[in-house]
Amino acid sequence: MNMPNALTLLRIALAPVFMFFILIENFYMKLVGLSLFVLAALTDLADGYYARKYNVITGFGRFMDPLADKILVSSALISFIAMHYVSALPVVLIVGREFSITGLRLLSAYKGVVIPPTYVAKLKTFLQMSVVAIIMGYICLISALTHFESSALDMFKFDHYFYFSIGLWLTAVVTIWSGVDYVVKYFHMIRTVLK
């Protein structure tokens, strides 16, 4: 097994472990969860860099790398629902779109048809990672202020559910839009794959 593929598998393995720690109501456990998420995100950068630099590109990597990213982001979003930081519906829409389009792209790749990412898909990824990073940062900040009984805690008390849900709904709209954009733009290729 080469290095990029090993890093991809590590990212998949870290997703449930990250969820376990981030859901525990303890500052140090949440800090471990945040560290694992950052580590998993760094493996994404590292495997891409290594694969390009040493031209180590495999069929396994093409299949599993995007799937690993979806699993990591989905794990974070589902954790936020469990902690009552966001509403469930936009998460369901995001996760549903991610796995349906990823499945379609994987099936296409299996049949030798490459469906490249669109500009809207890149915007979608940026928004998802931004929302996840902001919510994760807020959760850990509140946990730290609570743990250390800081007087600054009152400064950060606001209707986070409302504002985070708005950010997530905006992300869900762009995510669905990117899925529709895929289907419309590559309809002729998709139709060939599904025959």
**Which tens digit of pLDDT belongs to each residue from 23-37?**
999 999 999 999 999
What pLDDT is attached to residue 178? 92
Name the residue with higher pLDDT: 57 or 159.
Answer: 159
Reading the block at residue 53, the tokens are 């630099």
What pLDDT is attached to residue 55? 81
How confident is the model over 162-187, as a mean pLDDT? 91
Count of domains observed in the chain: 1
Domain that residue 108 falls in: 3-194
Q: Given the structure tokens 């469930």, which residue do they identify?
A: 88
Q: Are 83 and 142 in contact (CB under 8 A)?
A: no
What pLDDT is attached to residue 193? 67
Reading the block at residue 127, the tokens are 């928004």
Name the residue with higher pLDDT: 113 or 172.
Answer: 172
Residue range 51-64, pLDDT digits in tens: 778 787 777 777 78
Reading the block at residue 144, the tokens are 């730290």
Q: Is the pLDDT of residue 116 over 80?
A: no
Reading the block at residue 91, the tokens are 């998460």
Give the least confident one: 4-13, 83-92, 117-126, 158-167.
117-126
Residue range 73-112, pLDDT digits in tens: 999 999 999 999 999 999 999 999 998 888 887 777 777 7
What pLDDT is attached to residue 119? 84
CATH number of the domain enclosing 59: 1.20.120
Backbone dihedral region for residue 117 (phi beyond 0: left; psi -120 to 50: alpha; all else: beta): beta
- 0.85 cut: is pTM over it? yes
Report the percentage of the chain scoring pLDDT > 70: 98
| Length of the chain, in residues | 195
